[in-house]
Amino acid sequence: MSEDCIFCKIVAGELPSKQFHQDDLVTAFQDISEQAPLHVLIVPNQHFKDVGEMGDAQAEILGRIAQVAGQLATQEGVASNGWRLVTNVGRDGGQEVFHTHFHLLGGRPLGPLLAR
């Protein structure tokens, strides 16, 4: 747990969120400012500032994130039309919250990845 990290607090249940999933490694909850009909953030329960800080020792966590993304896409009804899983790192990546998180997006055509 990192002091003053909003996602650590959401994982711990100290800040409210609409939770989609929680297990021993990861938590998934709705983005507060959704960019698509389905916009879920999937985060490791443990604090890492970004995915670049995660290595071999975190392989199970990263695998779980991908697995949970697929399960939630199916559960939320976007699996057949498709979805996107993306993580931002650092300033140029547009990262705003420095606790690793993957955006699961779906429910509308998402367009080219690099379109602004």
What's the chain look like in SS3? CCCCCHHHHHHCCCCCCCEEEECCCEEEEECCCCCCCEEEEEEECCCCCCHHHCCHHHHHHHHHHHHHHHHHHHHCCCCCCCEEEECCCHHHHCCCCCCCCEEEEECCCCCCCCCC
Instruction: Out of 31, 45, 54, 85, name the contact with ligand 5GP by CB under 6 A.
Output: 31
The entry of ligand 5GP, Zn ion, none that residue 79 binds, CB within 5 to 8 Å by partner kind: none
Q: Is 109 in the site for ligand 5GP (CB under 6 A)?
A: no
Q: What angle do CA 23, 36, 111 make, to 5 degrees?
A: 115
Annotated catalytic, 21?
no
Q: Does 95 bind ligand 5GP (CB under 6 A)?
A: yes
Quick note: the x/- pattern for Zn ion over 42-61, rule CB under 5 A, is -----x--------------
**Binding of ligand 5GP by 19 (CB under 6 A):** no
Shortest Å distance, C-beta 47 to Zn ion: 4
| 2 interacts with Zn ion by CB under 5 A | yes
Binding site residues, Zn ion, CB under 5 A: 2, 5, 7-8, 47, 99
> What amino acid positions are annotated as catalytic residues?
101
